[in-house]
Amino acid sequence: MNTAPNPYKISFLTGAAIVVANMVGTGVFTSLGFQLLGIQSNFALLMLWVVGGGIALCGAVSYAELAAAMPRSGGEYHYLSRIYHPALGFLSGWVSATVGFAAPTALAALALGEYARRVWPGLNAPLLSAAVVVVLALVHGSSTRAGSRLQVVVTGIKVVVLVGFIGIGLLVGEGQPLQLLPAAADWRVLATPAFAVSLVFVSYAYSGWNAAVYLTGEIENPQRNLSRILLSGTAVVAVLYVGLNYVFLRAAPQPALRGQLEVGYIAANALFGPAVGRLTGAVIAALLVSTISSMVFAGPRIVQSMGEDLPALRWLAGRSQAGIPVRGLALQTAITLLFVLKPNFKEVLVYAGFVLNLFTFLTVLGVFILRRQQPNLPRPYRAWGYPVTPAVFLVLSGWTLVFILRDKPTESLYGLLTLAVGLAVYALVTQKRVPRSSVSD
């Protein structure tokens, strides 16, 4: 293994592609059916995606400030360790290693398998899901340059196809009548527990907005490019999400979509007929390859950073001659395959969403804390709209977390249990640091 830094630098275009690919995937193609279980107002359903986009943009400007001030790969693991305490940083890294990337990667792979099974009914969906994860891990484990080029190509195809789907969906057929001008009852829906819990699904769909911060150390000119990557990627996706969900709601009646996973396939089938609907389902399955690829690419960098900082986990810091964290990649791939082989889609989605929201909440709160603790720290980029933008993120994310704890106690309990196990692991690995530090170099 070689611990020399990776000579290849990720460009603005590749970074933006990673953000877009991380965000556009499982959530937007699967979550509308779950939202319809609690909400029937079309206005409120579309407002979910508008509000979710606003939350993501507020989070992106906050993360951009932290990433520019502390330019190192690792994301929340690095920020929380410096702002709060190494234990909290370790917990965020633990969550990222066990849940944050592995669970969403598995969910994207499972969604790919389900869409493919709709097109080819005899297909073994779990086997296809696992095979895609393994193949992409091998590609990203061979070369950063090859992985970057793959990411740009598949993400470009994804954006073109989605824009085309939205455009054709608006032109084809009469569609369902949508009442978008809100009545008083529609506004009241925005303050209900159902809206707050549905924001979990939407927040999960937007969760890749912070993907580029995990690669900060490998981005070309991060102080300049990282904020541009985060904001441009998030803005593009917000527009796509609102457009896609408008087309989904317009294409098929609510009862046909309610509680269903493959809403994209159902909408395409209603719009274009069975033959083209099957083709669209196959295309959506192919597009999910981009989402899986981006998470396979980004996640192992957190595990690598943890290995560099904790002697007991030093074996995870190893990189190949090409500078790729292959051991972290192997660990994440193994955990992903465990989720794939024992799926429970909706529960895993809420569980992952709860834990991830908790750490993004703490990270954005860190913008306020770091400004107070280290006012003279160089900040090449300052959060636009501070203090309003990070405050908006904290209020809306905190509101969602409270309702998840209240209305989804089982998934919340599993999330808190994951944190408890992480604390126990942290206690073990930091104990092992003591004898090592007593040995002189």
Cα–Cα dist 67/304, whole Å: 17
Q: What is the pLDDT of residue 439?
A: 37
- Identify the three-state secondary structure at position 199: helix
- Phi, psi angle pair for 128, to nearest 5°: -60, -45
Look at residue 420 in the predicted model and tell me its pLDDT.
Answer: 93
Please list, in sequence order, all residues whose beta carbon lies within 8 angstroms of the beta carbon of residue 352, skipping any fewer than 6 positions away. 99, 100, 103, 104, 107, 204
**Residue-level length of the chain:** 441
**Which pLDDT score, from 0 to 100, does residue 435 have?**
45
Cα distance between residue 209 and residue 232, in whole Å? 10
Domains in the chain, please, with CATH?
12-431 (1.20.1740.10)
The candidate with the shortest Cα–Cα distance to 228, out of 16, 9, 11, is 16
pLDDT at position 84 is 93
The whole-number mean pLDDT for each consecutive block of 10 residues of the chain, a chain of 441 residues, reads 52 76 74 88 92 88 84 75 90 80 83 84 86 87 66 74 85 74 87 84 78 64 73 85 91 88 86 83 80 77 72 72 77 86 72 85 94 88 88 91 85 89 87 46 36
Q: What's phi and psi for 259, nearest 5 deg?
A: 75, 5
Q: Which two tokens stand for residue 43?
A: 């206005």
Write down the pTM of the prediction.
Answer: 0.73
d(CA 165, CA 176): 17
Extract the tokens encoding 431: 């104990």
247, two tokens = 């087309």
> Is 359 in a helix, a strand, or coil?
helix
- Measured CA angle at 300 (ends 294, 306), to 5 deg: 145
